[in-house]
Structure 1
Amino acid sequence: MTSGSDPTPTFQPAFGVYVHWPFCLSKCPYCDFNSHVRHAAIDETRFARAFAREIETTAARTGAREVTSIFLGGGTPSLMRPETVGAVLEAIGRNWTVAADAEVTLEANPTSVEATRFAGYRAAGVNRVSLGVQALDDTSLKMLGRLHSAKEALEAVAIARRTFDRYSFDLIYARPGQTPADWVDELALAIKEAAEHLSLYQLTIEEGTPFFGLHAAGKLSTPDEALARALYDVTQDVCDRHGLAAYEISNHARPGAECRHNLVYWRGQEYAGIGPGAHGRLDLEGHRHATATERRPETWLMRVEASGHGLISDDVLTSEERADEFLLMGLRLAEGIDPLRYTALAGRKLDPGRIALLCEEGAIAVEADGRLRVTQSGFPVLDAVVADLAA
């Protein structure tokens, strides 16, 4: 974070840039992200110019920053040509200083077609790839609406391993019909292939998705609370045994292999949001700004071409809003939060009585250095813990 913007900085300054590529080949039935299917060819040159324009406009607002991480998310960024990725990264480098050791991540589908582009992404400046594997059996992949097979996914992981210094992949668990024994076997294979980082998400039924309608109609069953908890416990136990402890509620890594860009979000640091539907948190003249851009790709494009940016909201957060956000994001991390930072942001202390009660219930713990963290028992009920502390 920039000097003067955070009253009690706990970590080294960080500034991330998130770039959203909003297009996918198909819409997965569980996904509520800002992603769009277009059957006509995407004018990548035009979009690359618009990304560069919005980056320039954003940089004019922030002034000098050293970029410590870049994340190209989506949608499916691996549908972009490497030349497009290179143009976006060059625009970031023209407008801000990029740290020599900056983490540059690109999300990719693990299909054979997209894996052929990995060398081009590496040459363009990407040094970390995150693969949306989601499952390692073909029946589950079909149910999840994925377009790759398990064999194709593992082949793409192998190409990523040879191409990039760092890589990760995602899996979704608590799928219909999945048992703890099934998940143990799948997770063991995943850990063998993943090497240093895994993102493991429980399937959630999000309003507005096809799965939501199927679930409401009784045509899609998900694990009950007890089975979901058993699957969560299996996840922690297996990953811990293999040296990939959870550093965040859904993310596991070997020490030093954490996703540095995502840590920017969870630690309440500063990042620019570029592209359709991107969110940002910028520290400007002593205030924290929450920004969001137009979600519809073509409308965003016209906005940027007309005025240099696609912003549809740019709100100054109150002290209370910023403190609540810090609490909500920071307690996702195994390292927890520094309550003194909360006090500095909110202008009030967390309630000692609530902390004592949650400690007694085993949901949180207070470390010797004063940091407050959620326990493994507390993570499955994290939302309730945060709500209790913030009240």
Structure 2
Amino acid sequence: MTPLALYIHWPFCLAKCPYCDFNSHVRERTDIGQWQAALLADMAHEAALSGGRELTSIFFGGGTPSLMPPALVESLIAQASRHWRFAEDIEITLEANPSSVEAANFAALAQAGINRVSLGLQALDDTALRFLGRLHDASEGLAALAVAQRHFRRVSFDLIYARPDHTPESWEAELTRALAFGTGHLSLYQLTIEPGTRFATLVREGRFTPLDDDAAGALFGLTRELTARAGLPAYEISNHARPGEESRHNLTYWRYGDYAGIGPGAHGRRGGVATVRHRKPENFLKAVDAQAHGLAEQRALGMAEQASEAMLMGLRLAEGVDVKALAARFGFAESDLVVPAKRAFYAGLGLLNDTGDRLAVTGKGMPLLDALLGELVPESLVAA
């Protein structure tokens, strides 16, 4: 049986959190016992459908999972070990905001079984953090990083670049400083302006001007150059790691493996079925009371939809995709998965590395990934 990953979504955030998706902040009336029972029941439902498989990773994400009581984290990990066989080197990650409040929990969370932490630093100077809407300042974030490195074997953190007026000189200084902290993994995201976001509103109001494509592309190239030189090459369009330090959990997504998702709003993919949990915490709890799980929807995916998702996810990776293997897996010809003329054309331009079976976007092509995906993956497959 194929391995499995487990995603656990914790819906509660710090009070006044500017990124809270659920408007469900940590508060005195949060009943931890009720949430423990609900999450364990939701996990048991997924285990009944995928039991006996090897679990390669667990990822605690969502609102502010580093504020979860360590005893709750420990109970969830322990129960997962009863439902599934743990891989010998199982990766158990927890997302954390780099605040002093959350850093105070790190020692206990490590004792509970967390062996990898992902910190949302986002920037190393206070002006940028204020622009990004973060609640922590740079000194607090770096203090949290130091605590994390004392307690967890593997540490990752993220930064956002291509901010307004971000120059190659300032980004080189910031990224060089970040690399010097010695973590084995960095997530480096280019600032994008998505419709309906606070940044889109600020742009529309003329309060800042995004970097143009050429300037952002120069920073992308600089990012790849500096990380590769430091021994953390890009293994995904925005993720960089020392060999062996890649996020195994996220690789499951990008390689189109199966993962169970539990908790409010969690998505999953298992055996060709897409699952979605109730998003609002109150609705999730009601669903668990009524049906012993939090599922709002589960839908069988057609082979074309699965093949499209596998292609779109896999081409984000430096390793690319094995087109022949995917074609066999989903019952298609290779030409159904990749438009042959476009494949040859973009390989000729040096934007693709095509070895026959395996197809990968080159470093030169990665800044154009979205456009390439639109050209390479047949529209009929994506629309299916």
Q: TM-score, normalised by structure 2?
A: 0.93
Matched, 1:19 2:3: no
**Distance in 2 of aligned mates of 1:37 and 1:132:** 20
Matched, 1:332 2:319: no
Structure 2 partner of 1:348:
333
Cα gap change, 1:26 to 1:141, in 2 (>3 Å): farther
**CA offsets 1:299-345 (integer angstroms, 9 cap, x no match):** 11211122112212211111111110010010010001101123122
**Distance in 1 of aligned mates of 2:304 and 2:84:** 30
Structure 2 partner of 1:132:
120
Identify which of 135, 138, 154 aligns with 1:166: 154
Identify which of 307, 313, 321 aligns with 2:297: 313
Q: What SS does the aligned partner of 1:23 have?
A: coil
**Aligned pairs for 1:203-282 within 5 A:** 203-282=191-270
Q: Is the 8 A contact 2:154 2:183 kept in 1?
A: no
**CA offsets 1:96-116 (integer angstroms, 9 cap, x no match):** 222231000000111111111
Q: What SS does the aligned partner of 1:107 have?
A: strand
Matched, 1:388 2:372: no
Q: Which has the higher contact order (CA 8 A, sep 6+)?
A: 1
Q: Which runs of 5+ in 2 are unaligned?
A: 379-384
**Aligned pairs for 1:33-182 within 5 A:** 34-38=21-25, 40-41=27-28, 42-182=30-170
Letter of the structure 1 residue corresponding to residue 8 of structure 2: V
Letter of the structure 1 residue corresponding to residue 33 of structure 2: T
**CA offsets 1:43-85 (integer angstroms, 9 cap, x no match):** 2221121110000011112232111100001111011111121
**Distance in 2 of aligned mates of 1:167 and 1:123:** 16
Q: Aligned-pair RMSD on alpha carbons?
A: 1.6
Matched, 1:292 2:276: yes
Between the two proteins, the alignment pairs up a number of residues equal to 373
**CA offsets 1:267-299 (integer angstroms, 9 cap, x no match):** 01110011111111101xxxx101111111121
Letter of the structure 2 residue corresponding to residue 381 of structure 1: L
Shift of 1:28: 6.3
Farther-moved stretch of structure 1 (125-134 vs 192-201): 192-201
Segments of 4+ in structure 1 off by > 6 A?
none
Q: Is the 8 A contact 2:13 2:26 kept in 1?
A: no
Structure 2 partner of 1:10:
none
Cα gap change, 1:118 to 1:337, in 2 (>3 Å): same
Structure 2 partner of 1:196:
184
Q: TM-score, normalised by structure 1?
A: 0.91
